[in-house]
C-alpha cells in the first residue's frame, strides 16, 4: 500500500461517518486525497504551452497546493489540489527561451476567470439574447449527436462546418480528419490579423507558404516594412530575444534597425531610423532600394533568382523605381533612399522583413513580393543573419476561409471552436446575420462572446492548463520541434476538452466514424509520437508550390472611400495587450498600459498632434471617425508619431458581450472597415479604409492614461 492509498483509506474510515450527514460524501472526500507530487507550500514547475497565438511558446507553470472550489458531478465542493500560480517561459524551449510576453503571462487568468463557463448550456431565449440554461454533458452530447445524425440521415454531411483558429498544429490535423471521416468539407479558419498574404508571397517567391524565421541575432542591418516584430506579430518572444542580442551582448557591434511605416509603432520606436512613408507604398521603397543596389552593382542582379522573377521589371533593373520616382510615390526623400540602399548593401548580413499594415493594403501581395525580392537580392535567404523557413513535420491541412460560411449555401450545423468572427469582422460582412441563418450552432469556447452568444449549445472546453496541449511552431527557431504537454492541474469545472468531446461524439453517432479515431487527444498525441495515427498525405497540402505566377506589376494601393470626402487613412493595429480583441477579457491586460500611449481600459483614436491643433482637438476630446461603412466615437490621443493624414486605432475593445471585464468598454474599429480584399488573396485589407473625423465634444473621461506627459521636457525652461 503506497502513501496515497493509505491516506485515502484513513480519510475515508476517519471521516466517513461524520460526512454521511453532510450530503455528497463522495466529493467531500476528494479534499483528503492529496496530489502525490505536491508538498504544501512548496512549488513545482510543470511544462505547458501558451495557447494565445500561433507562436507556440513553451512555458512552465508554477504549481502549488491550494484549496479550490470545484465542480464534480455537477456539485460544488472544496478540494485541495495543485493550482497553477504563475506562467514563466520554459528555458528548455527553443521559442520562448525562458522568456514570456505580457499576453502569455496573463494567459493564466483564462483558467481562473470569474466568468468562465463551468458547464454545458443550452439556449432558451431568442438567439443572441444570452439566455441559456445549464444542462448535463449527457444531454449536451445527445443533442449534438442528434443534429449530426440528422445530417447523416439526410445524406447532407457536407452541411456540417467547423470554424476554428488557423495553424493549431496536430489538433487541427485531428479536427480536419474528423470532418473528413464524417464527410464534411475542410475546417473553416478565421483570424483577423492573419498573415495569409505573406504566406502567399513566400510561396510565390520561395515556394514555401510559411512565415519566415528571422536571424536578427546575426544580422547587421535590418529594414522592417511595417512589421511589428517586437509587438504582436508572428513569434514576438523569440524575435525579441534575438533583438536583445542584436542590440547588445554580442561581438561584432550593434546592428542598425530601420523601420518604415506611417505610424510610430512600438517596434518603430525601437528603430535607429524611422522612415515615415505613405501607406501602401512600402513595396515601392523596397524596390527603390533594390534599384540602387542593382544600378550601382552592389550585388549581382542574378542573386534575386526566383523571388526577383515575381516582380515585373526586375530583369531590366527596375528602371521605374529610381530614387526620384520612389520619392514621388512614397514621400521618402531620394537621397535617403540612396543612402539606405547603400547602407543596406554595405552591412551584410542585411535583412528586410514585411508584415502588418503594408500587407493589409489592396496591393499587399505586391509589397510582400518586393520585400522578398530585396531579401533575395541581398542574398539573405537561408543564410546566417537572414530569413529562413523552418522545415515543418508535415504539410499544413487544407482549410477554407470565412466566406464559406457567408455564402448562400450555408452549412446546417456549425461547430465553433473558440473563434470570434462576429467581433473581428467588418460590420459590412454581416457575419452575425449569416450565423443567424444557420439552423444549429454549437460553440466550444470557455466564454460567452459575441459569436458564441449566437450558439444553440455551448460545450465549454477545459482551459489549456487543464488539458493536453501541443504546438508545431511555424517560425521563431532554427528548428521546429512539435511539442506537447499534459495537464498542469485538475479541472476546476464540469468542462471537457473539446477534441475529446468530438472524439466521443464520433463514437456515439448512429453510424460511428470509421475507421475509428483515437479515444482521446492524449492518446492521439502519445500514439502519434511512435506510429502516426494520421498517415502523412491524409491531409491535402496547402496550395500548389512550384507553379510560377506571372510577374506582378506594381499596382497603386486602392483605398475604400473618396479622398475628398474621407481625407484620412484609417490604420487599425493589433493592440499590444489585447491583440485582436480575443484577450480583452483578461483584467491584467486591460490594465496594462499601452506601450506607446499608456492607455488602459479604453479605446482611443490617435491623431497627429499638429493636425489636432489645427482642428481644435485636445487630448481626450471625443471625436468621431466615419468611414463609408460606419462610425465610431472615442477619445482622442494626440500622437506625435503619426502621419498627419492618418488616424490610428487599436483593435481589441468594443466588445458587446465578452465577460465583465470587456463588455461595454470602448469601440471596435474593425466594425467600420470596408470588406476589401488584398488583391490576389482573400485576406482582409484592414488598412485600406479611408475615413473622416469630426470633433464631437470635450473630454468624456473615457481616455484613461496611466502616464502623464508624453514628452520628457514638456515645459520649456527659458533662455538666459
Partner 1 sequence: MNRTLTKPIADDLVRPLFQTSVWFYAIVFAAATVVACGGAAWGYQVWNGIGSAGIRWPVFWGFYLVNFVFWIGISHAGTLISAILRLVNAGWRRPVTRCAEAITVFALMIGAMFPIIHLGRPWLAFWLFPYPSAREIWPNFRSPLAWDFFAINTYLTGSVLFLFLPMIPDFALVRDRSTGWRRTLYGLLAFGWRGTTRQWNRLESAMQIMAVAILPVAVSVHTIVSFDFSMAAVPMWHSTIFGPYFVAGAIFSGIAALIIAMAVLRKTLGLEKYLLPLHFDNLGKLLLLMCILWAYFVFAERLTVWYGNEPSEMAVFWASQRGRFAPFYWTMVICNFVIPFVILTNYKTRTILGCVIASFGVLIGMWLERFLIIVPSLATKQLPYSWGSYAPQPVELTIMAATFAGMILLYALFSKFVPIIAIWELKAGLPSRLDPALQVETSLLSTRLDTEAFSSEAERADRGQP
Partner 2 sequence: MAYRWGMAVDIDKCTGCEACVTACHAENNIPTVGAGQASRGRAMHWIRVERYYEGSFPDVRLKFRPVLCQQCDNAPCEAVCPTYAAHQNEDGLNAQVYNRCIGTRYCANACTYNVRFFNFFNPEWPKPLHLQLNPDVSIREVGVMEKCTFCVQRIKAAKTEATAAQRELVDGALQPACAQACPTTAIIFGDLNDPESRVARLARSPRGTKLLEDLGAEPKITYLQKQPWHEPDAY
Rank residues 430 and 619 by Cβ distance to partner 1 and give the closer one: 619
Mapping DSSP onto H, E and C, the string for 227-256 reads CCCCCCCCCHHHHHHHHHHHHCCCCCCCCE
- Identify residues 612-631 at the interface with partner 1 (CB under 8 A): none
Question: Does residue 266 interact with partner 1 by CB under 8 A?
Answer: no
Residue of 114, 252, 546, 714 interacting with partner 1 (CB under 8 A): 714
- Identify residues 276-315 at the interface with partner 2 (CB under 8 A): 276
Question: Does residue 656 interact with partner 1 by CB under 8 A?
Answer: no
Question: Does residue 428 interact with partner 2 by CB under 8 A?
Answer: no
In angstroms, what CA-CA distances link 499 with 213, 512, 546?
A: 30, 16, 34
- Identify residues 583-602 at the interface with partner 1 (CB under 8 A): 598
Residue of 533, 643, 667, 676 interacting with partner 2 (CB under 8 A): 643
Sheet holding 58-72, edge to edge: 44-49, 58-72, 75-89
Rank residues 37 and 139 by Cβ distance to partner 2 and give the closer one: 37
Question: Does residue 682 interact with partner 2 by CB under 8 A?
Answer: no
Rank residues 430 and 598 by Cβ distance to partner 1 and give the closer one: 598
The DSSP secondary-structure symbol of 583 reads T
All three cell numbers of 266: 512600438
d(CA 196, CA 683): 6
CB of 597 to partner 2, least distance (A): 8
Rank residues 264 and 674 by Cβ distance to partner 2 and give the closer one: 264
Cell 527603390, residue located:
288
Rank residues 125 and 640 by Cβ distance to partner 1 and give the closer one: 640
- Identify residues 109-138 at the interface with partner 2 (CB under 8 A): 109, 112-114
Distance from the Cα of residue 311 to its chain's centroid: 30
Rank residues 54 and 267 by Cβ distance to partner 2 and give the closer one: 267
In angstroms, what CA-CA distances link 373 with 23, 313, 338?
A: 72, 12, 18
User: Which 3 state secondary structure label does DSSP give 82?
Assistant: strand
What is the number of residues in the chain?
720
**Dihedral of the alpha carbons of 161, 682, 197, 325, in degrees to the nearest 10:** -170
Rank residues 481 and 704 by Cβ distance to partner 1 and give the closer one: 704
Residue of 609, 675, 684, 688 interacting with partner 2 (CB under 8 A): 609
Question: Does residue 237 interact with partner 2 by CB under 8 A?
Answer: yes
d(CA 274, CA 263): 9
Options 209-217, 642-650, 653-661, 706-714: segment touching partner 1 (CB under 8 A): 706-714
Rank residues 63 and 416 by Cβ distance to partner 2 and give the closer one: 63
Question: Does residue 648 interact with partner 2 by CB under 8 A?
Answer: no
Where b means 16+ CB within 10 Å and e means fewer, 6-26 reads eebeebeeebeeebeeeeeee
Rank residues 408 and 712 by Cβ distance to partner 1 and give the closer one: 712
User: Which 3 state secondary structure label does DSSP give 19?
Assistant: helix
248 binds, among partner 1, partner 2, none (CB under 5 to 8 A by kind): partner 2
Site pattern 547..586 for partner 1 (x: CB under 8 A): ----------------------------------------
Question: Does residue 707 interact with partner 1 by CB under 8 A?
Answer: yes
Rank residues 266 and 663 by Cβ distance to partner 1 and give the closer one: 266
- Identify residues 198-227 at the interface with partner 2 (CB under 8 A): 220
CB of 55 to partner 2, least distance (A): 11
CB of 260 to partner 2, least distance (A): 11
All three cell numbers of 385: 543573419
Options 141-149, 602-610, 647-655, 707-715: segment touching partner 1 (CB under 8 A): 707-715
Question: Does residue 3 interact with partner 1 by CB under 8 A?
Answer: no
100 binds, among partner 1, partner 2, none (CB under 5 to 8 A by kind): partner 2
Rank residues 205 and 467 by Cβ distance to partner 2 and give the closer one: 467
d(CA 594, CA 601): 10
Rank residues 562 and 701 by Cβ distance to partner 1 and give the closer one: 701
d(CA 518, CA 680): 39
Question: Does residue 253 interact with partner 1 by CB under 8 A?
Answer: no
Q: Kindly write down the DSSP assignment for every residue of 475-531, as one continuous string.
A: SSSSS---EEE--SS--SSS---HHHHHHHHHHHSSS--SSPPPSSHHHHHHHHHHT
Cβ contact 711:638 at 8 Å: no
Question: Does residue 170 interact with partner 2 by CB under 8 A?
Answer: no
665 binds, among partner 1, partner 2, none (CB under 5 to 8 A by kind): partner 2
Options 205-213, 334-342, 444-452, 704-712: segment touching partner 1 (CB under 8 A): 704-712
Closest CA to 261 of 644, 643, 651: 643
Options 243-251, 409-417, 525-533, 710-718: segment touching partner 1 (CB under 8 A): 710-718
d(CA 299, CA 378): 7
Question: Does residue 718 interact with partner 1 by CB under 8 A?
Answer: yes
Question: Does residue 464 interact with partner 2 by CB under 8 A?
Answer: no
Options 104-112, 281-289, 494-502, 667-675: segment touching partner 2 (CB under 8 A): 104-112
Options 120-128, 233-241, 412-420, 562-570: segment touching partner 2 (CB under 8 A): 233-241
Options 356-364, 470-478, 512-520, 583-591: segment touching partner 2 (CB under 8 A): 583-591
Question: Does residue 66 interact with partner 2 by CB under 8 A?
Answer: yes
Q: Kindly write down the DSSP assignment for every residue of 272-329, as one continuous string.
A: SEEEE--TT-HHHHHHHHHHHHHHTTSS-GGGGHHHHHTBTTTTTT-GGG-HHHHHHH
How many C-alpha atoms does 4 have within 13 Å on its Cβ side? 8
CB of 604 to partner 1, least distance (A): 17
CB of 708 to partner 1, least distance (A): 3
Question: Does residue 717 interact with partner 1 by CB under 8 A?
Answer: yes
d(CA 281, CA 558): 11
Question: Does residue 602 interact with partner 2 by CB under 8 A?
Answer: yes
Question: Does residue 347 interact with partner 2 by CB under 8 A?
Answer: yes
Closest CA to 228 of 134, 101, 112, 131: 101
d(CA 440, CA 144): 9
Question: Does residue 270 interact with partner 2 by CB under 8 A?
Answer: yes
- Identify residues 518-577 at the interface with partner 2 (CB under 8 A): 576-577
Question: Does residue 640 interact with partner 1 by CB under 8 A?
Answer: no
For residue 705, what are the β-bridge partners? 599
All three cell numbers of 243: 533583438
Where b means 16+ CB within 10 Å and e means fewer, 99-129 reads bbbebbbbbbbbbebeebbbbbbebeeebbe
Rank residues 254 and 527 by Cβ distance to partner 2 and give the closer one: 254
Cβ contact 154:179 at 8 Å: no
Q: Residues in contact with partner 2, total (CB under 8 A)?
A: 89
253 binds, among partner 1, partner 2, none (CB under 5 to 8 A by kind): partner 2
Question: Does residue 587 interact with partner 2 by CB under 8 A?
Answer: yes
Instruction: Return the H-helix or E-strand segment holding 7.
Output: helix 3-19
Residue 67 φ/ψ, nearest 5 degrees: -95, 120
User: Which 3 state secondary structure label does DSSP give 158?
Assistant: helix
Instruction: Return the H-helix or E-strand segment holding 343.
Output: helix 334-346
Residues that bind partner 1 (CB under 8 A): 598, 707-709, 711-715, 717-718, 720
Amino acid at each position: 500500500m503506497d502513501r496515497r492509498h493509505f491516506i485515502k483509506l484513513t480519510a475515508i474510515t476517519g471521516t466517513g461517518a461524520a460526512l454521511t450527514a453532510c450530503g455528497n460524501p463522495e466529493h467531500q472526500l476528494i479534499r483528503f486525497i492529496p496530489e502525490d507530487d505536491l508538498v504544501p507550500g512548496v512549488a513545482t514547475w510543470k511544462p505547458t504551452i501558451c495557447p494565445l497565438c500561433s507562436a507556440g511558446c513553451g512555458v512552465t507553470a508554477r504549481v502549488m497546493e491550494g484549496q479550490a472550489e470545484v465542480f464534480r458531478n455537477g456539485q460544488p465542493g472544496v478540494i485541495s489540489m495543485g493550482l497553477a500560480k504563475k506562467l514563466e517561459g520554459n528555458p528548455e524551449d527553443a521559442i520562448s527561451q525562458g522568456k514570456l510576453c505580457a499576453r502569455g503571462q496573463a494567459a493564466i487568468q483564462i483558467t481562473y476567470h470569474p466568468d468562465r463557463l463551468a458547464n454545458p448550456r443550452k439556449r432558451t431565449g431568442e438567439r443572441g439574447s444570452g439566455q441559456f440554461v445549464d444542462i448535463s454533458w449527457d444531454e449536451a452530447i445527445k443533442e449534438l449527436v442528434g443534429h449530426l445524425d440528422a445530417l447523416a440521415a439526410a445524406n447532407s454531411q457536407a452541411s456540417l462546418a467547423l470554424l476554428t483558429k488557423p495553424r493549431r498544429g496536430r489538433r487541427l490535423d485531428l479536427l480536419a480528419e474528423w470532418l473528413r471521416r464524417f464527410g464534411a468539407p475542410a475546417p473553416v479558419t478565421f483570424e483577423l490579423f492573419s498573415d495569409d498574404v505573406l504566406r502567399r508571397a513566400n510561396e510565390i517567391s520561395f515556394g514555401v507558404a510559411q512565415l519566415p524565421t528571422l536571424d536578427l541575432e546575426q544580422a547587421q542591418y535590418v529594414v522592417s516594412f511595417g512589421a511589428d516584430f517586437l509587438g504582436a506579430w508572428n513569434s514576438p518572444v523569440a524575435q525579441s530575444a534575438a533583438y536583445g542580442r542584436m542590440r547588445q551582448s554580442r561581438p561584432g557591434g550593434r546592428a542598425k534597425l530601420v523601420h518604415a511605416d506611417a505610424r510610430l509603432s512600438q517596434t518603430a520606436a525601437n528603430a535607429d531610423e524611422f522612415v515615415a512613408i505613405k501607406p501602401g507604398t512600402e513595396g515601392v521603397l523596397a524596390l527603390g532600394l533594390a534599384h540602387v543596389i542593382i544600378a550601382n552593382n552592389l550585388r549581382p542582379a542574378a542573386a534575386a533568382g526566383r523571388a526577383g522573377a515575381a516582380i515585373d521589371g526586375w530583369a531590366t533593373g527596375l528602371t521605374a523605381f529610381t530614387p526620384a520616382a520612389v520619392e514621388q510615390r512614397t514621400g521618402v526623400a531620394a537621397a535617403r533612399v540612396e543612402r539606405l540602399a547603400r547602407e543596406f548593401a554595405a552591412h551584410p548580413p542585411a535583412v528586410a522583413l514585411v508584415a502588418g499594415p503594408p500587407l493589409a493594403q489592396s496591393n499587399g501581395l505586391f509589397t510582400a513580393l518586393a520585400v522578398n525580392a530585396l531579401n533575395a537580392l541581398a542574398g539573405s535567404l537561408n543564410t546566417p543573419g537572414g530569413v529562413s523557413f523552418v522545415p515543418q513535420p508535415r504539410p499544413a491541412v487544407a482549410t477554407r476561409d470565412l466566406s464559406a460560411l457567408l455564402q448562400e449555401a450555408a452549412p446546417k450545423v456549425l461547430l465553433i471552436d473558440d473563434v470570434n468572427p462576429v467581433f473581428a469582422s467588418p460590420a459590412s460582412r454581416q457575419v452575425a446575420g449569416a450565423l443567424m441563418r444557420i439552423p444549429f450552432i454549437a460553440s466550444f469556447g470557455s466564454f460567452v462572446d459575441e459569436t458564441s452568444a449566437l450558439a444553440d449549445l455551448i460545450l465549454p472546453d477545459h482551459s489549456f492548463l487543464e488539458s493536453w496541449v501541443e504546438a508545431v511552431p511555424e517560425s521563431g527557431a532554427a528548428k521546429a520541434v512539435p511539442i506537447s504537454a499534459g495537464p498542469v492541474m485538475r479541472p476546476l469545472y464540469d468542462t471537457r476538452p473539446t477534441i475529446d468531446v468530438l472524439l466521443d461524439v464520433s463514437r456515439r453517432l448512429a453510424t460511428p466514424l470509421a475507421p475509428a479515431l483515437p479515444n482521446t487527444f492524449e492518446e492521439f498525441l502519445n500514439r502519434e509520437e511512435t506510429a502516426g495515427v494520421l498517415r502523412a498525405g491524409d491531409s491535402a497540402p496547402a496550395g500548389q508550390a512550384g507553379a510560377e505566377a506571372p510577374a506582378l506589376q506594381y499596382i497603386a494601393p486602392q483605398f475604400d472611400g473618396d479622398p475628398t470626402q474621407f481625407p484620412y487613412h484609417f490604420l487599425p493595429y493589433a493592440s499590444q495587450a489585447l491583440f485582436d480583441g480575443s484577450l480583452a477579457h483578461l483584467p491584467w491586460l486591460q490594465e496594462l498600459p499601452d506601450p506607446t500611449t499608456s492607455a488602459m481600459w479604453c479605446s482611443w483614436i490617435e491623431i497627429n498632434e499638429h493636425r489636432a491643433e489645427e482642428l481644435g482637438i485636445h487630448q481626450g476630446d471625443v471625436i468621431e471617425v466615419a468611414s463609408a461603412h460606419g462610425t465610431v466615437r472615442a477619445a482622442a490621443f494626440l500622437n506625435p508619431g503619426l502621419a498627419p493624414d492618418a488616424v490610428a486605432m487599436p483593435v481589441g475593445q468594443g466588445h458587446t458581450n465578452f465577460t465583465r471585464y470587456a463588455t461595454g468598454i470602448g469601440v471596435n474599429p474593425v466594425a467600420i472597415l470596408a470588406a476589401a480584399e488584398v488583391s490576389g488573396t482573400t485576406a482582409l485589407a484592414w488598412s485600406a479604409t479611408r475615413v473622416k473625423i469630426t470633433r464631437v465634444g470635450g473630454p468624456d473621461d473615457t481616455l484613461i492614461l496611466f502616464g502623464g506627459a508624453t514628452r520628457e521636457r514638456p515645459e520649456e525652461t527659458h533662455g538666459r
